[in-house]
A and B are shown apart, each in its own frame.
Chain A
């Protein structure tokens, strides 16, 4: 659901040039409002970023402000085979999910937007369902189906489950992109004799590339950051970094968790920042 609001929000930020809108009269009211908003923004940012200083402190218990800067928790994280296995498993799964969700989602979006599908509206609703249904319901349901056929705790099971969770994001961004481009471009290519596939590959795809890329990033993060389903379908053989975090928070609360969390945060911010940068470049090119 986050991508829906973000699209309209960041679009609004980019499209209307700033200022001149402020119409609160100066004085105590405005100062109070700004102070309150400042507090809320701190409330929003502080817990998100607190893992960073926590991962750098010397003490093995929680200490604030952290005394003695050290990278030893990061060293412990990178040296621990359990953590590295979990991280690598999460990365593998996320990459496979991204590839599968992007391909499946893009093709299906094309069929929905440009095609002639019976029950298109039902399919659209079904596509959004993984976003709406609480993950705990999906987690428990998936375990019920996967456990008897040996799909828990392994790469294939995770790839299938996460692709299901991620494909809605791809379909949302790609459908939006398909609806924005001019269908005449594709028609022109077809009229010049291109096959449907060639027209798609050479004309449509380059034009929807930013939408596909954004969908791919959302799919990656949806898989990598996902905690609830991962908790339930992990096993000894296949455990994600989120499941490992869950376990260690319960049984082994050390700053290594903060180091692993920081790694996850940095990865998320770099990827999402990249999407934003792409979007702002695209927006500035639009007339």
Chain B
């Protein structure tokens, strides 16, 4: 007779691994994330508050000196503008993409995915090539006789907005496409059969049903814009600092680690806060 106090073998739990085995398999991941993620972030945050004794001076400095507040506000403003632009440019692309079939849809998808797959650095460099004084935009405008002097395009706030919109546009298009694709085509046809014009059908039926994808895309684009480093660093220059490039400047040029830690901590808290607040939109994109 079986010993009633014997432990149940793990196989009875529908193939579940035993706890010791699970822990062993997960251990490398825990060690990696502990050493390479938790430890550095903790050290950065602690260093911003203990320099060397507990002090709030570095955190307070962010709001006390107007230049930093201005940079923060400008970062948020830029992120908002980029998000709106990404929506205005990206929604039509997603709409057309969702209504195409076969080859054409693949082609449009390639146009959206190819930029996504190339390095942000390469794409930002391309914007330098386009926007610099002797760059393509200026050369083309001059050769068409539209301007005499090259325009100051690069190292402006506009350049940062345009380049960031370009880089982040696919992150808006893809979720919107997913949600549009999920709308049954019969709904639109039903609306049309009941007499609605194409615009009314779109406005009253398609657009509201696609909103989850729009929110997912907007959340991703906004959060990514806030923390972006590469593109503002290359295209914005030192006159147009964002919080990310400010952090970089504080560490590499000014070696002011506690203050950089405070700035990074603020950025981290804002990012995590936004992700937590909007997580129900973000989980949309995960639905395979």
Contact = CB atoms under 8 A, between A and B. Distances in A.
Interface string A210-240: 0000000000010011011000100000000
A26 B48 CA distance: 61
B32 A17 contact: no
Contact of A246 (B37, B121, B251, B260): B121
A42 to B, nearest CB: 8
Interface stretch (A60-68, A70-78, A81-89): A60-68
Given A2-B171, A44-B111, A108-B29, A138 B40 contact: yes
Contact of A44 (B112, B120, B182): B112
Interface of A: 1-2, 4-13, 16-25, 29, 33-34, 36-37, 40-41, 43-45, 47-51, 54, 61-64, 103-105, 107-108, 110-112, 114-118, 123, 126-127, 129-130, 132-146, 160-161, 163-164, 167, 171, 176, 183, 186-187, 190, 196, 221, 224-225, 227-228, 232, 242, 245-246, 249, 253, 257-258, 261, 264-265, 268-269, 272
A163 B32 contact: yes
B251 to A, nearest CB: 5
- 4 closest Cβ contacts across the A-B interface? A18-B101, A134-B227, A115-B22, A19-B101
A48 B17 contact: no
B207 interface: no
Contacts of A164: 32-33, 36-37
Majority secondary structure of chain A interface residues (helix, strand, loop or mixed): helix
B268 to A, nearest CB: 5
B231 to A, nearest CB: 10
Given A21-B101, A54-B129, A136 B33 contact: no
B136 A64 contact: yes
B96 A17 contact: no
A40 B93 contact: yes
Contact of A108 (B16, B25, B120, B223): B25
B285 A4 contact: yes
B133 to A, nearest CB: 9
B41 A190 contact: no
B255 to A, nearest CB: 11
A136 B244 contact: yes
B15 interface: yes
A74 B103 CA distance: 34
